[in-house]
Structure 1
């Protein structure tokens, strides 16, 4: 496993200036990724050299309620996809109820195209550990869990070592930092199910049951893990907290936009010259990110892209200047999601891409609710027929109708995510679907199309 170097994140130092004369370096805001390329960046010693655990020291000088208010005032929003205010989520935990409180960190990063939490944990795990201690102090929790995607064994080892170092240094265990508070962290490796990225399915899995979404209410803040008040946060959300406490909420709010303040990790992948993690203020555009990363691969142009992973409605080259914040992307008809910017050039068949995504969602559906279980299956059958040239025109309306019967009618957001590529691809590329039907197959098939002869498909 590897992480991006500063050169990869910045797109190199020889790129032309982007954004009206602003150098690429000034468009970025490396905080979580500031020292990923240093030798042994994952160790406690390296983390302390970069003001590690200073945020915790300042948090312990405040009351728990003051910490919650501070994070809430900073405007930090959840980095897992929904963008819900982090401080407000902490505030929902009832106090004085006599029950144990739990913090659960969702590190089950399985969304196609998303690759920010895993490199963050691999290169800088102590940012998460420190953030968890601060969060647990705020919500008055004495036990926290990290639910990690099980296939990432190297990250699992790094996390175990970071937790061990934190115990040895007195940041975990009894009387942390002389605060009189106790805290234990358990690192749990999941079995590799996409559905466990949904917070209530994650809680069921953590309790030893099959990972399936729960009916809500009650919400996790009231009855979560072991039927006790629980906060479930994304890795990046919690890892951002120490810097906010250490450098101040005004420093954080000075970045980004009014309603989407701060910095975040953008995962740039696909047919681009410089894929990697680009940490920048919210509100940057894909055009600016492509400018600093070297653009699309040589000789090709952008055809379509996802702003937040495959479960968010796709965009086209008309959306290059959409501000990549929660409001800007929402106003343009999609969702910021996990900031997984998958870029596809003109050699990509939209129908083929959507078929592969839908096959993934059908495979990963937990089967609990009928709209998702049955709907994703039939979407796959129709898409395979269309891609193979066996479809008829009425299939396009049928696709739209099935997606509509899934969207907003399933237990969790997996159904909505499966419907998004269908709706958006039919909106922007309906003609390409029709070409598959009238031409009896994929126009991008090298046996039937001259397009492939004019492009470096293996570049």
Structure 2
């Protein structure tokens, strides 16, 4: 994946009419020096104002840091968009218990690919954000739960943590402030379900990763039954720039309710896939203009705004503002800003079937709706894709998805149901083309075989 950055870190709002070129929409902050030689080192990070935000934060009372992040309007970048400062504020103070910060780096959502490149190219942004966040919530131990398969990133993160300890940014009496902090990097064992925050906490404690019943919420009884904040990598890595440059600078980007910059992961049938850092509220049309559009000779058919667990959208939604409110009003979710773009050569039924197979495989099996529902969705979808389905199966698909949606322990069930609902809404006719022995119209072998058999029946 390539990163796109410009020398000009402008803060023009999308749609304001003041843009001069498509690239002016980009606001490289986290990705500003990804293309530098050895961008991941402490030396490179310091050359780009690294740890200046920490210096300012350590001079502020913890509650003032929380207030700053809250007033800046930073929303969680892990999918739900919950206000980060408000989440920090939920941690009870004066309770006599240890407080923990847990960074969720278990990036596993199909299509989502922002946190791993960020950690690979700029791990010190996360480390600086961790120290600031721990100072704010009065925590002295932080954990980074990283997806275990990405061994090069794991090694690079360990190296960055070691650099931070050696430079006095971690450990005892950080920068002479009297604040102590230990950071533990933990490699997960490859379970998608551990991206759910309470399943992650169970895994971190050495148990099987399964979602917990809430309440109690992690802010009250999280890791080791102590108050815990669980934040996404990008959420924490965005904090140093806010503290260093100020809340007004951050709010000058994005929209009123969704301020700031973020990483959009553009993938699929596009000319130049990659990470595009831009203000919240840009549109897919604008991002496609920057990235060279769809691959030559093809057009956009459908896309996901936030990974495979968000309801898919079509070419009718090219001008939907990509912020939490805009995408929500269009009937989907911004999620992790994983913009998977598919052209007219893609079979919707096939794509949804593959996604559903993933969710069935990754279901932890703790709750019946998800465990049983995803299994039966896969069986139905496979039959439909193979031409063995009938019209009643489409209603059955919707019914099973409805029995999962909102009725499972965690959001995995909702994520599995989303592509079903949205694909039936926009592409029911394409599902119907697969039924009654016809097979997939996008499979030349199947469609030819069906046409030949139909010709023989007509001439019999």
TM-score by length of 1: 0.94
CA distance in 1, matches of 2:7, 2:62: 36
For residues 363-442 of structure 1, the aligned pairs below 5 Å read 363-438=361-436, 440-442=438-440
- Tell me: CA distance 1:223–1:19, structure 2 relative to 1, closer, same or farther (3 Å): same
Q: Aligned ranges for residues 311-326 of structure 1 at < 5 Å?
A: 311-326=309-324
C-alpha displacement at 1:179, in angstroms?
A: 1.5
- 1:195 has 2:193 as partner: yes
Q: Distance in 2 between matches of 1:225 and 1:5?
A: 35
Match of 1:217 in 2: 215
- Aligned CA-pair RMSD: 1.5
* 1:20 shift after superposition: 8.4
- Counterpart in the other structure of 1:14: none
Distance apart, 1:446 and its partner CA: 1.3
User: Contact 2:5/2:32 (CA < 8 Å) preserved in 1?
Assistant: no
Deviation of the 1:280 alpha carbon: 0.1
Work out whether residues 263 and 281 of structure 1, in 8 Å CA contact, stay in contact via their aligned partners in 2: yes
- In the TM superposition, what whole-angstrom CA distance separates every residue of 1:423-453 from its partner, at most 9, and x where no partner exists? 0000000000000004520001112458xxx
Identify unmatched segments of 5+ residues in structure 2. 9-15, 449-460
**Equivalents in 2 of 1:262, 1:5: separation in Å?**
19
| Matched-pair contact (CA < 8 Å) for 1:126–1:162 | yes
Q: Deviations over 1:326-357 (max 9, x none)?
A: 00000000000000000000000000000000
How far apart are 1:6 and its partner, in Å?
3.3
Inter-partner Cα distance in structure 1 for 2:53 and 2:5? 28
Instruction: Indicate the residue corresponding to 2:80 in structure 1.
Output: 82
* In 2, Cα distance between equivalents of 1:136 and 1:280: 27
TM-score w.r.t. structure 2 length? 0.94
Equivalent runs, 1:32-431 vs 2, <5 Å: 32-431=30-429
Task: Please give the secondary structure, in 1, of the residue aligned with 2:235.
Answer: helix
For the residue of structure 2 that corresponds to 1:222, the secondary structure is helix
Report the Cα offset of residue 42 of structure 1.
0.2
- In structure 2, do the counterparts of structure 1 residues 439 and 431 end up closer, same or farther at CA, with 3 Å as the change threshold? farther
Partners of 1:47 and 1:288 in 2: CA distance: 30
Residues 386-416 of structure 1 deviation map (CA, whole Å, 9 limit, x = unaligned) = 0000001000000000000000000000000
Question: Number of residue pairs matched?
Answer: 441
- After superposition, the C-alpha distances for 1:224-265 in whole angstroms (9 at most, x for unaligned) are 000000000000000000000000000000000000000000
SS at 1:35's partner residue?
A: coil
- Please, which runs of 5 or more residues in structure 1 have no aligned partner? 11-17, 451-459
Deviations 1:135-192 (A, max 9, x none): 0000000000000000000000010000000000001110112111110000000001
Equivalent residue in structure 2 for 1:26, among 17, 24, 27: 24
- In structure 1, C-alpha distance between the alignment counterparts of 2:225 and 2:361, rounded to whole Å: 30
Kept after mapping to 1: 8 A contact 2:210/2:366: yes
Q: Are the equivalent residues in 2 in contact too, given 1:213–1:412 (CA < 8 A)? A: yes
On the 8 A contact 2:389/2:437 being kept in 1, the answer is: no
- The separation in 1 between residues aligned to 2:5 and 2:237, in whole angstroms, is 23
Change (3 A) 1:258 1:377: same
